[in-house]
Amino acid sequence: MKRVKLTTTSPEMSRMVYGTWRLLDTKPTAQEINRRLHACLELGITTIDTAEIYGLYMVEQVLGAALALSPGLRDKLEIVTKAGIYVPCSQDPERRTAHYNATAARLMKSLENSLRLLGTDHVELFLVHRPDWLARADDTASGLNQLARSGKIRAAGVSNYTASQFDLLNSRMEQPLATNQLEFHLLHHGPIHDGTFHQCEKQGVLPMAWSPLAGGRLFDPKNDAAQRLAATAQGMAARYDGATLEQLAYAWILAHPSRPLPVIGTNQLERIKSAAHADGITLEQEDWYALWEAAEGRRVP
């Protein structure tokens, strides 16, 4: 597995990232999660992506318990976590409405709680999970800057920001933002057209790609685009040692010149192993566009 830096000043990370959004779907024990983390490590996937809200605020605690089972494991990994989304839940029954909060005070409080749950004194990367329409950029940046100065985060970034939102916040940062984590996959090409990937490339920032398999829709037999992609992938598989649609979907993301880091979301070890092999696939230019055409259902304009 190749290793990269999101920016010249950010920590080094694995080219593909293990995501924990659905970590609790199969109700795994801490021991099972620990084994999965070790398996990722053996594959060279050392970067683990999580968030305060994942599992309705339960994933970080379970992940921390799994890390605690193997002293020294945490030091071999890079942890990415996010904060800023707050929804009514059992832990906070007084919360009335789902909302965003990216004020300095809230981000700092959330990060402190994340560190406690994860059992660590820092994270390699801390992201603002969603833009808060009511927070001034000066306020959000103040919290991120204080956390960076304290050493509790090695780098800061954002998720789901537009290019203009990224520019505004970045203008207030003491250390430039390290990434923008965006939805990007064969069924969602938004970052190619809305300027966010262009911005990343211009500023020397590597983006991250969440939901790289479209949340499973890529394999839905009722989805016309998925069926076109399956047929197209089958036709080109022989050129890539029998690569599956899943592997080609990751390779398609990896091939974009902004160099996104796909965030793998599966809980199945065999699929994690399969995904890791995509790092070794270099798509021919015509095949990249063939997959685009299959996804869009039309010729390249």
Compute the Cα dihedral for 238, 241, 246, 248 and give only its sign: negative
Question: Are 152 and 121 within 8 A, CB to CB?
Answer: yes
User: Alpha-carbon distance 263 to 280, whole Å?
Assistant: 16
Active site residue 240: no
Mean of pLDDT over the chain: 97
User: Alpha-carbon distance 234 to 248, whole Å?
Assistant: 10
Of 233, 181, 171, nearest to 206 (Cα)? 181
Tens-digit pLDDT profile for residues 76-120: 999 999 999 999 998 888 899 999 999 999 999 999 999 999 999
User: Alpha-carbon distance 74 to 116, whole Å?
Assistant: 14
Of 69, 70, 75, 48, nearest to 59 (Cα)? 48
Instruction: Sort residue 297 into left (φ over 0), alpha (ψ -120 to 50) or beta.
Output: left
Of 174, 129, 181, nearest to 149 (Cα)? 174
Q: For residue 126, what are its two tokens?
A: 């801390």
DSSP 11: P
**What is the biggest distance separating any 2 CA atoms in the chain, rounded to whole angstroms?**
57
Q: For residue 39, what are its two tokens?
A: 């398996």
The band of 70, judged by pLDDT with boundaries at 50, 70 and 90, is very high
**Host H or E run for residue 180:** strand 180-183
The band of 181, judged by pLDDT with boundaries at 50, 70 and 90, is very high
* pLDDT score at 284: 98
User: Average pLDDT for residues 50-75, to the nearest whole number?
Assistant: 98
Of 224, 223, 262, 222, nearest to 246 (Cα)? 262
Catalytic hit among 54, 57, 86, 250: 54
User: Alpha-carbon distance 91 to 21, whole Å?
Assistant: 18
**Host H or E run for residue 16:** none
* pLDDT score at 121: 98
If one counts every other C-beta atom within 10 angstroms of the C-beta of residue 175, the result is 17
pTM higher than 0.95 = yes
Tens-digit pLDDT profile for residues 22-33: 999 999 999 999
The band of 294, judged by pLDDT with boundaries at 50, 70 and 90, is very high
**Host H or E run for residue 66:** helix 59-68
Tens-digit pLDDT profile for residues 133-175: 999 999 999 999 999 999 999 999 999 999 999 999 999 999 9
pLDDT at residue 288 tops 90: yes
Which residues have CB under 8 Å from 68's CB, separation 6+? 30, 119
User: Alpha-carbon distance 19 to 59, whole Å?
Assistant: 11
pLDDT at residue 269 tops 90: yes
The band of 21, judged by pLDDT with boundaries at 50, 70 and 90, is very high
Tens-digit pLDDT profile for residues 221-257: 999 999 999 999 999 999 999 999 999 999 999 999 9
% of the chain with per-residue pLDDT over 70: 100
